[in-house]
Structure 1
Amino acid sequence: MTKVNWFLLLFIFPLSFQGFSQHTFLGSNRELFVDDFLIDRLDGASLKMHVPIDEGVAFYLDKPWEGKFSTYTTIIHDQGIFRAYYRGLLDVVEGNNQRLTCYAESKDGIDWYKPNLGIHEIKGSKDNNVILVDEELTPNFTPFLDTNPNAKAEEKFKALAGKQATGLFALSSADGIHWVKIQDKPVLQEGNLDSQNVSFWSTTENKYLVFFRSTDSGFRSVSRSTSTDFKSWDKGIAMTFGSAPLEHIYTQQTSPYFRAPQIYLAVGARFMPDKQVLTDGQATEMGIDPNYYKACSDAFLMTSRGGNQYRRYFMESYIRPGIGLNNWVSRTNYPALNVVQTSPYEMSIYVNQDYAQSTAHLRRYSIRLDGFASLSAGFAGGEMITKPFVFEGNALELNYSTSAAGEIYVELLDEDGNKIPGFSKEECQPIIGNELSRPVYWNNSTNVSRLSGTAVRMKIYLKDAAIYSFRFY
């Protein structure tokens, strides 16, 4: 089969050769060790989740039209501009029908400012950062940068906004600041819809997706719907979680990872409705609204690769609540939508914290590029063998780190697990160091092109080392 045909299969059958074989087709996609999608066997090695580093406050939610109930943040990186969208409230009482959508900007994702946009008059002045005041649209406003190659320039940004009572409306914008309805009637009216309802263009499925709030056996859960035009959506289908136990998924924040868009990463908030940490007296002393300290929440990590299945390989908390009672109130620790790159080697994740408190703010966490999780082994060493897969490319690249005593070897096997001459462990140059992009050498060569388009397995040997991602290119 020619290479052109292999690439066609990537778009038609992105996960496997349906009707041909069960081999996973990677093409030249980057793969992350965020789940066991490719793993056939582990021996002394494991998948390890890596905790993001707390980098402090990104910005406080301290304007009179923002306040302690500001939440549901979306971060969009657009050609050197980082854009933040979030819910505000004109007064301090939640549910008073004065919800607003606010906007902040940054040139680096680290230092943020709130521009005076002059769009809406708030408290007698247009010197504010408010972009929407329409009560039909401000609940749960969740925008995205439309990567559909056929998207109109005036619809560069799209969003879904609304609630269960109104349904979700489709909006568009040319500049990310001035928004209009795409049509007058709502485009989606099923589900609970009472938190961020996340939509995006999927390059692998060639359609728009939305992940919205639904219920499953009394638990807050997620359903998915698809559309080809962002106006007509098919009937939603409930997402499944494999063997993972049901938990309250308050927000799921599912979006394509920008370096591997075939992987939908979900860094969301799980809600523990009956876990009260603060006493009534502590809550009163801290000035916390009586409705917002009798539960707690934290951040979790899961993935999807298309269809209605999530993979929750890690049940542990991805970002634990911080030190201090202010981190243990209801609806705090809710991650913002989207992970963005903020340096050549670093990504940032943002989390709403101190909910229902006068110190409410958005906080930034950093993590190594691709570093959500890794294939890891300690000093005693370990091994991993993949399932059979087919790649396209001439070389293999790793994003990895080792200790000074550690090392990594990579071996390519045929689909039955036999060593392929020229690509054995004995012929592999030891991989030592800490790099985001390092080619693998066998016999002083990186060339793997003769195996491109054929089914292979990969066997990795690790000692005091971690691999975050790999790709053939």
Structure 2
Amino acid sequence: MKINVSPEKRTFIDVDSLTQWDTNIYQRFPMADKVPIRGLEPGPSGTWDSGFTTIWGTVLKEKDLFKMWYWGQPETPSYDVNPDLPFVCYAESEDGINWHKPDLKITGQNRYPGNNLLTLPGCCMGVVHGLPGTNSKYLMALIRYGVGLVPDVTDIPKNKIDDPSGTYIYASDDGLHWNMVTKLFSHGDWACLYADKETNRYLLYNKVGAMHGIISRRSAIVVQSEDGIHWEGYDGVRKWHECFVPDDYDDIIARQQGGLISEYYGVGVYRCGESLISVEDIFIVWPHLRQCFAQNPNGLCYFRLGFSHDGIIWRHPHGRPIWLTTGNPSEWDAGFMVPSSTFVEHNDELFLYYGGSRYDHGWSINPDFSLKKDIPLSDHRDTARVMMAKIKKDRFASLASTYKGYFDVDAEKRYGSVLYINCICRSSDASIRIAIAEKQGPYHGAIRKSDSLNGFSFDDCVPITTDSVSAPVRFKNKKISDIPVDLPLSLRVELNKSEIFGYEWKNE
């Protein structure tokens, strides 16, 4: 199974390709911007989504239409029910901001007329387009929580099975009518399904329980598949690939934020050139910790980014910086956040939809996850919303200089006829120049033979002075296509009061 791709495109959240640099270069980590969206607010009392709306699912953009699979939940009817009673809902948008809940007329017409419900009996944990070799247009990961089926909505013959709880794969040709493909296992209540087109494989990240110290932690494993039916990487409990597990440094970060420990509460995944990028939901757990192999209930959270070369082993930039924080008290994401399964590309931006909760995790539950009876059931209504954050495309991290700095990148070879960089030059005296040099050899980390190839020095480069996610690199008297394809190359970057987020080779 192919797990790696060639570096036609690189982002500088991953700096493994650097070979030389000076003391004026440093790494920057911009945070995401929150953007208000409309149309997915909980409905009026008595409707299918009057309790709250949130997303652990997915938004896909097809041509000019955004499609969303998300979680809607009615009001909590009593103190004796499971607090998680998800419905899978579907919505559409033309701009990603203003959303519409279509009257699908698929199910629940007697109980909830005018609804946008699907018959799926659990929580959507990711929708992807089917890869070559898959006999359906879409696949979905769904987790069933082991709660009963809802009459007139999910209580249909194909949902009635003997052992309902667990993680399932479903398939569909229209995104609305789904059939179960296989059950994977029963571990945890969150997952993330991602289709990696570059390696033609599905990756599924799934919550499991793990121990770090004598403390139970939410963590995650990964399994992979080429067809969505047969999966590799899981042979039973602890016979798996652990990929997201909190450690001592995560606990130090938790202490800095007033908590005790850290846990993983969700991930989203996105391919950016040779690297996979993770959006990691880090749960900052407060007292009191449970003294058994069970879930700790109380705390806040934040999102951070990670990266991987193969989707199995994950790393973090230095310091594990925060990428998105919870909001201020009374805002819709003041208490907690959960990420959707991936970014959505829209023009020169990336959208990440997420679920925002008004109150902190555990606000209404006892340590055993039963509901607190001193909190009125009416206070459970309208407590979460689907929200959105965005960044400019592929601007996960940059290499920057406040004055003038230089660094070299092992580019391996010329992977295209033209070269583009993702960069920001904010002032009239800011600029970026690129030089191209031959490496001393074809091996990883080889330094350059000389300052540059003939015609490809810093002085030969036309200075770049713009803010662009795709600024062309040009030379005064030579074309990049003049360089032999198999010549081992170093890219040299001169930053003058500017920053660069990555680069990409293209054939034009």
Residues 154-165 of structure 1: pairs in structure 2 closer than 5 A: 155-163=136-144
Q: Which amino acid aligns with 1:251?
A: G
Tell me if structure 1 keeps the 8 A contact 2:436–2:490.
yes
**Among 180, 189, 193, which residue is 1:194 paired with?**
189
* Deviation, structure 1 residue 40: 2.9
The RMSD of aligned alpha carbons is 2.9
SS in 1 for 2:16: coil
The answer for the alignment partner of 2:13 in structure 1 is: 34
* Deviation, structure 1 residue 397: 1.1
The answer for the alignment partner of 1:252 in structure 2 is: 267
- Count matched residues: 421
Q: Which amino acid aligns with 2:436?
A: L
The answer for the alignment partner of 2:48 in structure 1 is: 65
Residues 4-43 of structure 1: pairs in structure 2 closer than 5 A: 14=4, 25-26=6-7, 29-43=8-22
The answer for the alignment partner of 2:353 in structure 1 is: 350
Q: Which amino acid aligns with 1:169?
A: Y
SS in 1 for 2:430: strand
The answer for the alignment partner of 2:491 in structure 1 is: 458
The answer for the alignment partner of 1:51 in structure 2 is: 31
Q: Which amino acid aligns with 2:104?
A: L
Tell me if structure 1 keeps the 8 A contact 2:132–2:200.
no
Between the aligned partners of 1:467 and 1:376, the Cα distance in structure 2 is 6
Structure 1 352/162 Cα, relative in aligned 2: closer, same or farther at 3 Å?
Answer: closer
Structure 1 114/292 Cα, relative in aligned 2: closer, same or farther at 3 Å?
Answer: farther
The answer for the alignment partner of 1:220 in structure 2 is: 218
Q: Which amino acid aligns with 1:267?
A: V
Between the aligned partners of 2:421 and 2:54, the Cα distance in structure 1 is 40
Residues 9-408 of structure 1: pairs in structure 2 closer than 5 A: 14=4, 25-26=6-7, 29-43=8-22, 44-63=24-43, 64-66=47-49, 67-68=51-52, 70-92=54-76, 95=82, 98-121=85-108, 124-134=111-121, 138-146=122-130, 148-152=131-135, 155-163=136-144, 166-183=165-182, 186=183, 188-189=184-185, 192-195=187-190, 197-214=191-208, 215=210, 217=212, 218-234=216-232, 235=234, 236-239=240-243, 245-246=249-250, 247-257=262-272, 260=273, 262-274=274-286, 294-313=298-317, 315-326=320-331, 330=335, 332-342=336-346, 344-355=347-358, 358-378=382-402, 380-387=403-410, 389-402=412-425, 403-408=427-432
* Deviation, structure 1 residue 307: 4.7
* Deviation, structure 1 residue 460: 0.6
Structure 1 145/307 Cα, relative in aligned 2: closer, same or farther at 3 Å?
Answer: closer
* Deviation, structure 1 residue 179: 1.0
Tell me if structure 2 keeps the 8 A contact 1:101–1:141.
no
Tell me if structure 2 keeps the 8 A contact 1:396–1:446.
no
Tell me if structure 2 keeps the 8 A contact 1:407–1:432.
yes
Between the aligned partners of 1:430 and 1:55, the Cα distance in structure 2 is 34
SS in 2 for 1:245: helix
Between the aligned partners of 2:117 and 2:321, the Cα distance in structure 1 is 37
Gaps of 5+ in 1: 1-10, 16-24, 277-290
Gaps of 5+ in 2: 147-164, 235-239, 251-261, 289-294, 360-379, 440-446
**TM-score of the superposition, structure 1-length normalised?**
0.81
Structure 1 164/382 Cα, relative in aligned 2: closer, same or farther at 3 Å?
Answer: farther
* Deviation, structure 1 residue 318: 0.3
Between the aligned partners of 1:97 and 1:433, the Cα distance in structure 2 is 49
**TM-score of the superposition, structure 2-length normalised?**
0.75
Indicate whether 1:412 and 2:436 are aligned.
yes
The answer for the alignment partner of 2:364 in structure 1 is: none
Residues 420-459 of structure 1: pairs in structure 2 closer than 5 A: 420-459=453-492
* Deviation, structure 1 residue 117: 0.6
Q: Which amino acid aligns with 2:435?
A: E
Tell me if structure 2 keeps the 8 A contact 1:226–1:233.
yes
* Deviation, structure 1 residue 114: 0.6
Structure 1 45/58 Cα, relative in aligned 2: closer, same or farther at 3 Å?
Answer: farther
Between the aligned partners of 1:387 and 1:431, the Cα distance in structure 2 is 21
Structure 1 423/113 Cα, relative in aligned 2: closer, same or farther at 3 Å?
Answer: same
Tell me if structure 1 keeps the 8 A contact 2:338–2:355.
yes
Between the aligned partners of 1:205 and 1:425, the Cα distance in structure 2 is 36
Between the aligned partners of 1:42 and 1:391, the Cα distance in structure 2 is 21
The answer for the alignment partner of 2:151 in structure 1 is: none
